[in-house]
Structure 1
Protein backbone atom coordinates (compact mmCIF):
# COMPACT_ATOMS: atom_id res chain seq x y z
CA UNK A 1 0.00 0.00 0.00
CA UNK A 2 1.32 3.46 -0.85
CA UNK A 3 2.01 6.00 1.87
CA UNK A 4 1.61 9.71 2.39
CA UNK A 5 3.81 12.10 4.40
CA UNK A 6 2.05 13.03 7.65
CA UNK A 7 2.84 15.85 10.07
CA UNK A 8 0.95 16.42 13.33
CA UNK A 9 1.89 19.68 14.99
CA UNK A 10 0.81 21.36 18.24
CA UNK A 11 1.98 24.76 19.51
CA UNK A 12 4.48 22.95 21.75
CA UNK A 13 5.97 20.34 19.44
CA UNK A 14 5.90 18.17 16.36
CA UNK A 15 4.00 15.11 17.55
CA UNK A 16 4.44 13.02 14.40
CA UNK A 17 6.50 13.48 11.26
CA UNK A 18 6.65 10.43 9.06
CA UNK A 19 4.80 8.20 6.65
CA UNK A 20 1.27 6.78 6.97
CA UNK A 21 -0.74 4.42 4.80
CA UNK A 22 -4.02 5.81 6.22
CA UNK A 23 -5.01 8.66 8.54
CA UNK A 24 -8.42 8.81 10.23
CA UNK A 25 -9.61 11.93 12.07
CA UNK A 26 -12.75 13.44 13.57
CA UNK A 27 -13.61 16.43 11.40
CA UNK A 28 -16.33 18.96 12.10
CA UNK A 29 -18.46 16.90 9.69
CA UNK A 30 -17.72 13.49 11.22
CA UNK A 31 -15.03 10.83 10.99
CA UNK A 32 -13.02 10.76 7.77
CA UNK A 33 -10.19 8.61 6.51
CA UNK A 34 -7.47 9.68 4.09
CA UNK A 35 -5.09 7.70 1.88
CA UNK A 36 -2.23 8.76 -0.37
CA UNK A 37 -3.31 10.65 -3.49
CA UNK A 38 -6.47 12.01 -1.80
CA UNK A 39 -7.93 15.09 -3.42
CA UNK A 40 -6.97 18.40 -1.77
CA UNK A 41 -9.04 19.40 1.26
CA UNK A 42 -8.85 21.76 4.21
CA UNK A 43 -11.34 21.33 7.05
CA UNK A 44 -11.70 21.84 10.77
CA UNK A 45 -11.14 19.11 13.31
CA UNK A 46 -13.33 18.45 16.33
CA UNK A 47 -12.22 17.02 19.67
CA UNK A 48 -11.59 13.37 18.90
CA UNK A 49 -8.94 10.98 17.81
CA UNK A 50 -6.29 10.72 15.16
CA UNK A 51 -5.57 7.19 13.98
CA UNK A 52 -2.30 6.66 12.10
CA UNK A 53 -2.02 3.42 10.19
CA UNK A 54 1.33 2.48 8.69
CA UNK A 55 1.43 -0.99 7.20
CA UNK A 56 0.48 -3.32 10.09
CA UNK A 57 1.07 -0.77 12.86
CA UNK A 58 -1.57 1.55 14.25
CA UNK A 59 -1.19 4.47 16.68
CA UNK A 60 -4.03 6.47 18.20
CA UNK A 61 -3.85 9.97 19.62
CA UNK A 62 -6.36 11.97 21.63
CA UNK A 63 -6.62 15.39 20.00
CA UNK A 64 -8.34 18.70 20.48
CA UNK A 65 -9.71 21.03 17.85
CA UNK A 66 -7.65 22.20 14.92
CA UNK A 67 -7.31 21.87 11.17
CA UNK A 68 -6.25 19.32 8.60
CA UNK A 69 -4.83 20.08 5.19
CA UNK A 70 -4.84 17.13 2.80
CA UNK A 71 -2.85 17.13 -0.41
CA UNK A 72 -2.18 14.11 -2.64
CA UNK A 73 1.40 13.74 -1.35
CA UNK A 74 1.13 15.20 2.17
CA UNK A 75 -1.25 15.59 5.12
CA UNK A 76 -0.70 18.30 7.74
CA UNK A 77 -2.62 18.35 11.00
CA UNK A 78 -2.48 21.40 13.27
CA UNK A 79 -4.16 20.91 16.65
CA UNK A 80 -4.02 22.55 20.06
CA UNK A 81 -3.14 19.24 21.73
CA UNK A 82 -2.38 15.67 20.66
CA UNK A 83 -1.37 12.83 22.98
CA UNK A 84 -0.58 9.18 22.43
CA UNK A 85 -2.37 6.80 24.80
CA UNK A 86 0.80 6.13 26.81
CA UNK A 87 1.33 9.88 27.35
CA UNK A 88 -2.08 10.51 28.91
CA UNK A 89 -2.16 11.23 32.64
CA UNK A 90 -5.26 9.19 33.50
CA UNK A 91 -5.63 10.62 37.01
CA UNK A 92 -5.51 14.15 35.65
CA UNK A 93 -8.09 13.28 32.95
CA UNK A 94 -10.40 11.74 35.58
CA UNK A 95 -10.09 14.85 37.76
CA UNK A 96 -10.85 17.10 34.80
CA UNK A 97 -13.91 14.99 33.98
CA UNK A 98 -15.18 15.22 37.56
CA UNK A 99 -14.63 19.01 37.69
CA UNK A 100 -16.48 19.49 34.41
CA UNK A 101 -19.38 17.30 35.56
CA UNK A 102 -19.64 19.34 38.79
CA UNK A 103 -19.70 22.60 36.87
CA UNK A 104 -22.40 21.28 34.56
CA UNK A 105 -24.55 20.14 37.48
CA UNK A 106 -24.64 23.73 38.81
CA UNK A 107 -26.73 26.46 37.24
CA UNK A 108 -24.02 28.73 35.80
CA UNK A 109 -23.94 31.24 32.99
CA UNK A 110 -23.96 29.86 29.45
CA UNK A 111 -20.26 30.74 28.96
CA UNK A 112 -19.14 28.66 31.94
CA UNK A 113 -21.50 25.90 30.87
CA UNK A 114 -20.05 25.80 27.35
CA UNK A 115 -16.48 25.71 28.69
CA UNK A 116 -17.43 22.87 31.04
CA UNK A 117 -18.99 20.91 28.14
CA UNK A 118 -15.77 21.27 26.12
CA UNK A 119 -13.63 20.26 29.12
CA UNK A 120 -15.83 17.21 29.69
CA UNK A 121 -15.61 16.19 26.04
CA UNK A 122 -11.79 16.52 26.08
CA UNK A 123 -11.45 14.54 29.33
CA UNK A 124 -13.73 11.74 28.13
CA UNK A 125 -11.80 11.53 24.83
CA UNK A 126 -8.47 11.30 26.67
CA UNK A 127 -9.84 8.53 28.91
CA UNK A 128 -11.13 6.55 25.91
CA UNK A 129 -7.78 6.76 24.14
CA UNK A 130 -5.90 5.82 27.31
CA UNK A 131 -7.96 2.60 27.45
CA UNK A 132 -7.27 1.82 23.80
CA UNK A 133 -10.82 2.61 22.66
CA UNK A 134 -11.22 4.49 19.44
CA UNK A 135 -13.89 6.22 17.41
CA UNK A 136 -16.87 5.39 19.62
Structure 2
Protein backbone atom coordinates (compact mmCIF):
# COMPACT_ATOMS: atom_id res chain seq x y z
CA UNK A 1 0.00 0.00 0.00
CA UNK A 2 1.10 3.55 -0.59
CA UNK A 3 1.06 5.97 2.37
CA UNK A 4 1.40 9.75 2.23
CA UNK A 5 1.39 12.00 5.30
CA UNK A 6 1.06 15.70 4.53
CA UNK A 7 0.90 18.86 6.65
CA UNK A 8 -0.03 22.30 5.31
CA UNK A 9 3.65 23.16 4.83
CA UNK A 10 5.38 19.89 3.81
CA UNK A 11 5.23 16.20 2.94
CA UNK A 12 6.21 14.31 6.09
CA UNK A 13 6.21 10.76 4.74
CA UNK A 14 5.76 8.89 1.47
CA UNK A 15 6.34 5.21 0.86
CA UNK A 16 5.10 1.64 0.68
CA UNK A 17 3.77 0.18 3.94
CA UNK A 18 2.33 -3.10 5.22
CA UNK A 19 -0.09 -1.40 7.65
CA UNK A 20 -0.69 1.89 9.44
CA UNK A 21 -2.41 2.61 12.77
CA UNK A 22 -3.95 6.07 13.24
CA UNK A 23 -5.60 7.92 16.18
CA UNK A 24 -9.24 8.06 15.05
CA UNK A 25 -11.78 10.26 16.82
CA UNK A 26 -13.58 7.14 18.16
CA UNK A 27 -10.30 5.34 18.96
CA UNK A 28 -7.23 4.08 17.14
CA UNK A 29 -7.69 1.88 14.09
CA UNK A 30 -5.44 -0.01 11.73
CA UNK A 31 -5.50 0.07 7.93
CA UNK A 32 -4.38 -3.11 6.17
CA UNK A 33 -4.18 -4.12 2.50
CA UNK A 34 -7.56 -4.05 0.69
CA UNK A 35 -9.21 -1.95 3.45
CA UNK A 36 -12.66 -0.63 2.56
CA UNK A 37 -12.73 2.99 1.34
CA UNK A 38 -12.99 5.36 4.30
CA UNK A 39 -12.66 9.02 5.25
CA UNK A 40 -12.26 9.73 8.96
CA UNK A 41 -11.19 12.55 11.25
CA UNK A 42 -8.10 12.06 13.41
CA UNK A 43 -7.20 13.22 16.90
CA UNK A 44 -3.79 14.23 18.24
CA UNK A 45 -1.69 11.10 18.64
CA UNK A 46 0.65 8.67 17.01
CA UNK A 47 0.62 7.24 13.52
CA UNK A 48 2.38 3.87 13.57
CA UNK A 49 3.83 2.92 10.19
CA UNK A 50 4.72 -0.74 9.69
CA UNK A 51 6.89 -1.88 6.81
CA UNK A 52 8.22 -5.43 6.35
CA UNK A 53 10.51 -5.61 9.39
CA UNK A 54 10.46 -2.06 10.73
CA UNK A 55 8.09 0.22 12.60
CA UNK A 56 8.14 4.03 12.63
CA UNK A 57 6.03 6.43 14.71
CA UNK A 58 5.03 9.96 13.75
CA UNK A 59 3.05 12.12 16.19
CA UNK A 60 0.35 14.25 14.53
CA UNK A 61 -1.83 17.12 15.68
CA UNK A 62 -5.23 16.02 14.38
CA UNK A 63 -6.31 15.78 10.78
CA UNK A 64 -8.11 13.55 8.28
CA UNK A 65 -7.38 10.16 6.70
CA UNK A 66 -8.62 8.92 3.33
CA UNK A 67 -8.21 5.29 2.26
CA UNK A 68 -9.02 4.33 -1.34
CA UNK A 69 -7.71 1.49 -3.55
CA UNK A 70 -4.75 0.64 -1.24
CA UNK A 71 -3.69 4.29 -1.17
CA UNK A 72 -3.67 6.04 2.23
CA UNK A 73 -3.57 9.82 2.53
CA UNK A 74 -3.17 11.41 5.98
CA UNK A 75 -3.71 15.18 6.01
CA UNK A 76 -2.38 16.27 9.41
CA UNK A 77 -2.79 19.73 10.93
CA UNK A 78 0.80 19.49 12.14
CA UNK A 79 3.51 17.24 13.52
CA UNK A 80 4.44 17.00 17.21
CA UNK A 81 7.88 16.19 18.50
CA UNK A 82 7.63 12.94 20.45
TM-score, normalized by length of structure 1?
Answer: 0.58
CA distance in structure 2 between the partners assigned to 1:22 and 1:82 by the alignment: 20
2:8 aligns with: 11
1:25 aligns with: 22
Alignment length (residue pairs): 82
1:48 corresponds to which of 45, 63, 80: 45
CA distance in structure 2 between the partners assigned to 1:82 and 1:70 by the alignment: 20
Q: CA deviation at 1:48?
A: 0.7
Higher strand share: 2
Higher RCO (C-alpha 8 Å, min separation 6): 2
Return 5+ residue gaps in structure 1 as ranges.
Answer: 89-129, 131-136
Larger Rg: 1
CA distance in structure 1 between the partners assigned to 2:11 and 2:32 by the alignment: 21
Does residue 69 of structure 2 align to residue 69 of structure 1? no
Q: CA deviation at 1:72?
A: 2.8
- CA RMSD of superposed structures (Å): 1.0
TM-score, normalized by length of structure 2?
Answer: 0.94
1:78 corresponds to which of 75, 78, 82: 75
Q: CA deviation at 1:35?
A: 0.8
Return 5+ residue gaps in structure 2 as ranges.
Answer: none
2:54 aligns with: 57
